Structure 1
């Protein structure tokens, strides 16, 4: 397991498979995620693939996704 701190440049993560939503826009306004070998989830801005990546636990991501599914973040999307 590689210890990668939050806000780290994405270069140490260049070997992971980044995924973005099929709902992403063609102009590059996308959030990408990658599952790390230790089970953590990395998140980055696709417009800056070599910029900082935030690292979250699977539990943190699961809680966020549950909130999205429940509509808790709907005011942000409007």
Structure 2
């Protein structure tokens, strides 16, 4: 998955969301949807911390892999 930086992107008014599968969990990531080519991702426990930016097609492939169980084991 390719990661990029975007210091020019203003996220002060971004609308962030967690997965509906998160439930009441507090250890989650959040994404902002309003960017067609990029997916901003942040740690829900640290909303003022760093934001990672993934290319939309790479993020989509990652999510598809999660849902299909085809991601490699990293342990």
> Which residue is 1:65 aligned to?
63
Task: Give the structure-2-normalised TM-score.
Answer: 0.71
Aligned residues: 69
Structure 2 counterparts to residues 1-78 of structure 1, below 5 A: 5=5, 12-37=10-35, 39-73=37-71
Q: Is 2:30–2:43's contact at 8 Å kept on the other side of the alignment?
A: yes
Question: How far has the Cα of 1:35 moved from its partner?
Answer: 2.4
- 1:13 aligns to what SS in structure 2? coil
Runs of 4+ in 1 over 4 A off after TM superposition: none
Please give the alpha-carbon distance, in whole angstroms, between the structure 2 residues aligned to 1:51 and 1:61: 20
Task: Give the structure-1-normalised TM-score.
Answer: 0.69
- 1:44 aligns to what SS in structure 2? strand
